[in-house]
Amino acid sequence: MRLMVIFLASLFFSTAHAESYRWLQYTPGGIEARAITDQPACPAAQIDGAAATMTLRAEPDAAFPVRVCALAIPATASAASVDSVPLALPSAQLKRIAVIGDTGCRMKGDYVQACNDPTQWPFPLITQVVAQFKPDLVIHVGDYHYRETPCPGGDKGCAGSPSGDNWAVWRADFFVPAATLLEAVPWVFVRGNHEECRRGGHGWSRTLEPFAFDAQSGCNGIAKPFAARLPGLTLVVMDVAGAREDKADDAQAAFYHEQYQAIAQMGGPPVWLLAHRPVWSPGGKVGDMLLGDNKTLEAAANGRMPDNVTMMLSGHHHLFQVLSYAADLPVQVISGHGGDYLNPRTDSDPTGWVVGGITVKSGVNITGTFGFSMLEKRDDGWQLAAYDRLGGVLESCSMKGRDADCKPGAK
């Protein structure tokens, strides 16, 4: 454990400029290799031992003095590497899926996290723990970029940290802590509200956005849903980063309603819907009032959630939550406890909650604990486990169709 702490401390305090980052991610066209480099050309790549040429995705500029490169990987490929570093291709059998979200270190006005303290910002540790589980896939449910304003003078907790939508922040908030896990397993990336164009959207659009980079504007607009087709499972990624939460926006609701209709034709069942903002899910409670459900998405999804969707995976709320509804709706899983400030503690048993007119039949609500989630395939469904930042089991749920049966501390 001591060696782990020393290693993590080196991540926080190192000022050396990383030469490159490499990973595989799902895009609308299939699997794609990506690379970030400070060198004058894209790195060399190989597919099944033959040389392959990466194409330039994004040119360097003042805020992002690095190149971003891409290479489509054929579904038939058995090996791929970038800069002579092997990258993990998708598994023929999907057995274990890690889910993390809301991972960056908060620096915004008076809300300042101790980014230099691995107990206060544990995302680098969490990525190392997740890697030990050897998942077949990692899903990030959004919100990577959090260092929006400068660290206050004299604050040792974040001293030396960069701020703004630039490479220095994206490097510190995501790419340095995630580097080992990026190379070890394919990823699916979901856009969060922190990746809207007015916040961290320029870095998102250059590096992780599944669609082609809009070089003219420097930041991609709202993306259409796309499907990542896996063995026996379809993941549909939906961009709801800008969905208004406090009240229903009629124009947005109509737009998202069309997207829900499109999802009905995109695969499965089963289909898991990946969207950063959840629908019928509260992030907190004041007295007897549940807060934080999304009024716009409720208006769009009410009576229109596609039948092929069995599970919704989200972040946005900084907690772990599983909600199974009395109505015939997909199970909602929230895994937004990956690094940023956690939501205040509230009820652990959500049974009987009424959210946007929808009653919660059963579930679990874990607050005040950093961690991640892991889905493991079973003969009759999936087993979902919530882990703390050190890999200790907090909760386990048996997921069958649109139902979840949860038992504290069981695996």
Q: Which residues contact 303 (CB under 8 A, 6 or more apart)?
A: none
**CA neighbor of 58 nearest in space, from 199, 221, 212:** 212
**CA neighbor of 236 nearest in space, from 312, 140, 328:** 312
Residues 267, 270, 274: CA angle, nearest 5 degrees: 80
Q: Is the dihedral of CA 166, 343, 129, 196 positive or negative?
A: negative
Please measure the distance between the N-terminal and C-terminal CA atoms of the chain and give it in whole angstroms. 24
Please say whether the beta carbons of 22 and 83 come within 8 A.
yes
Angle, helices 123-132 vs 176-184, to 10°: value is 20
Q: How high is the pLDDT of residue 288?
A: 85
How is residue 317 written in tokens? 């709320």
Residues 124, 128, 129: CA angle, nearest 5 degrees: 115
Please say whether the beta carbons of 320 and 335 come within 8 A.
yes
Q: Which CATH superfamily is domain 91-378 in?
A: Metallo-dependent phosphatases (3.60.21.10)
Q: Which residues contact 358 (CB under 8 A, 6 or more apart)?
A: 280, 325, 326, 327, 329
Boundaries of every domain in the chain: 91-378
Q: How high is the pLDDT of residue 386?
A: 96
CB atoms within 10 A of CB 304: 14
Distance separating alpha carbons of residues 10 and 99, to the nearest angstrom: 25
**CA neighbor of 366 nearest in space, from 283, 303, 264:** 283
Distance separating alpha carbons of residues 238 and 227, to the nearest angstrom: 9
How is residue 262 written in tokens? 């499109």
Q: How high is the pLDDT of residue 287?
A: 82
What stretches of 172-217 adopt beta strand conformation (E)? 187-189
Q: How high is the pLDDT of residue 8?
A: 46
Pairing of strands 107-108, 80-82: unpaired
Please say whether the beta carbons of 102 and 113 come within 8 A.
no
CA atoms within 13 A on the CB side of 390: 5
Q: How high is the pLDDT of residue 408?
A: 65
pLDDT tens, residue order, the chain (411 aa): 443 443 444 444 444 444 799 999 999 999 999 999 999 999 999 999 999 999 999 999 999 999 999 999 999 999 999 999 999 999 999 999 999 999 999 999 999 999 999 999 999 999 999 999 999 999 999 999 999 999 999 999 999 999 999 999 999 999 999 999 999 999 999 999 999 999 999 999 999 999 999 999 999 999 999 999 999 999 999 999 999 999 999 999 999 999 999 999 897 779 999 999 999 999 988 888 999 999 999 999 988 899 999 999 999 999 999 999 999 999 999 999 999 999 998 888 999 999 999 999 999 999 999 999 999 999 989 999 999 999 999 999 999 999 999 976 554
Q: Which residues contact 251 (CB under 8 A, 6 or more apart)?
A: none
Please say whether the beta carbons of 24 and 31 come within 8 A.
yes
